[in-house]
Amino acid sequence: MSNLKSLASQTAIYGLSSILGRSINFLLIIIYTAYLTQEDLGSFTGIYALIGFLNIVFTYGMETTFFRFATGKNLNPQKVYHSTQSLLLISTLALGSTVYLLAPSLAHWLDYPGQAYLFRWTALILSFDALLAIPFAKLRLDNKAWAFAGSKLLNISLNVGFNLLLIVAIPAWIASGYLSEGFLGYRSDWGVEYILLANLLANGLIIPVVWWKAGFFSFHLDKSILVPMWRFSFPLLFMGLAGVTNELVSRLLFEYLLPADFYSGLSARKAAGIFGANFKLAILMNLVIQAFKYAAEPFFFKKSIDPNSPALYAKVMHGFVIFTSVLMLAISVNLDWIGPLFLRGEGYEAGLYIVPTLLMGYLLLGVYFNLSIWFKITDKTSYSLWITLAGAVVSLLVIFALVPEYGFIGAALSTLASYSLMVVICFFFGQKYYPIPYPTVKLVVYLLSAFGLSYAGFFLHLEPAALNFFAKNGIVILFLILIVWVERKDLLAFLFKKK
């Protein structure tokens, strides 16, 4: 139990930066939907989906590889850090330059005529992200959770500050006469441009802070370390690409697959803006999973040599499913007021019904992360490639088949279908090569019950509004009471046993 409490404590600290910080960042959706057009939101959705894809290429699985070689290979962690960061510096310069030079072609292919500068800024954002990846990973490895949290919060605060300055403050000052029109070249017709520019400035300013906290590296390439690291990470690169396909491809392709006039009065790019804004609401689940991942990945590797680790991994999965199932249900039943609270412009509520499906998809992504420990600690990372490729193929098939017919929900179902398949395949092979005693039946019942109740609560509408609110949240309370009753013995042990 002390191991679980340690993991919970680490998750709480990482959650401070991930949940609090990204919640602050998440509030930007209020600004975007209030001050920018749906077309700008569509551009934001598509370009950041592209950034998500290319981020995987720029880091090519080196974060997980760094953890593995710095903890379980009898190597000097500092030497591994220097070699890994040196390699990423070289590859980032090469890849960043390539994207920068291809900017005019990308603008043409993605239908952004005359806006090649967007993709030049994208190249710089990707480069800065890659140069921060391993220093952030080292902070996690060294258990410097507070340094990690503080750096993340500073980065997010800078990004939010620049967004508010460029999208809200400067236009207001110009309108009030405090600043002249065209102040420092300011363009009132820009929208998504200022989102990218704010991100670029925030990431650039945070690099020296994170490098200082993690420890500045000396340029060093050790072939004896890098060759086996590359062999380990190469399948993870394709796993990452397939995985990000599952997560982002719906947002990248949506506007190009949606038939003209599918939604009355909306262009495909505006509809993509509505889809992307509602996708943002599901980030509440993703924040929890990200915080858990930050703490759990180094924890899992460090505990892998413990003969009792399979039982420990099972308990971690058990707690994870319970918590996230309750979270999914609580968000879903309250979307009638959560949605309008964050999506301030008109028309965005048309996509709210896809949010429970997206929440379930992200939840299953977290389940997959728990399951995937078997191929990471047994060095069978090639399985990750085939599992995620299967998920990517299903994701693409569902998108191409359902988006032209069903619009928003077709795209959302692609996320759910791909992660469902990945969970099933990963569980099957994991139990074959590294058996873990998961309480499978109980967890499946929790997941399916929470998902069904999420839609029951979402579509429940009673009058007056107060009765509706209490009835919806009564579903959450009853579900939680049932779980507490079923889990009462383990819950008491977790809370009161010291060892």
Q: Kindly calculate the radius of gyration of the chain based on its CA atoms and give it in whole angstroms.
A: 23
Q: Whose CA is closest to 255, among 265, 247, 266, 246?
A: 266
Q: 413 with 402: CB under 8 angstroms?
A: yes
What pLDDT, on a 0 to 100 scale, did the predictor assign at position 459? 93
CA distances from 312 to 246, 296, 308, 489 (A): 29, 12, 7, 17
- Judged by DSSP in three states, 383 sits in helix
Q: How far apart are CA 440 and CA 337, in angstroms?
A: 34
Question: Kindly report the CA angle at 396 between 390 and 400, in degrees rounded to 5?
Answer: 150
Burial class (CB in 10 A: 0-12, 13-18, 19+), 109: exposed
What pLDDT, on a 0 to 100 scale, did the predictor assign at position 18? 61
Query: What single string gives the DSSP state of each residue in 422-463?
Result: HHHHHHHHHHHHS-----HHHHHHHHHHHHHHHHHHHH---S
Burial class (CB in 10 A: 0-12, 13-18, 19+), 478: exposed
CA distances from 478 to 143, 249, 446, 468, 484 (A): 38, 36, 13, 16, 10
Q: 471 with 465: CB under 8 angstroms?
A: no
Tell if the pTM clears 0.95, that is, is over it. no
Residue ranges of the chain whose pLDDT lies below 70: 1-25, 72-75, 243, 294, 304-306, 494-499
Q: Whose CA is closest to 206, among 117, 136, 292?
A: 136
DSSP state of 474: H
What pLDDT, on a 0 to 100 scale, did the predictor assign at position 183? 79
Q: Where in the chain are the domains?
A: 2-496
Q: How far apart are CA 41 and CA 176, in angstroms?
A: 26
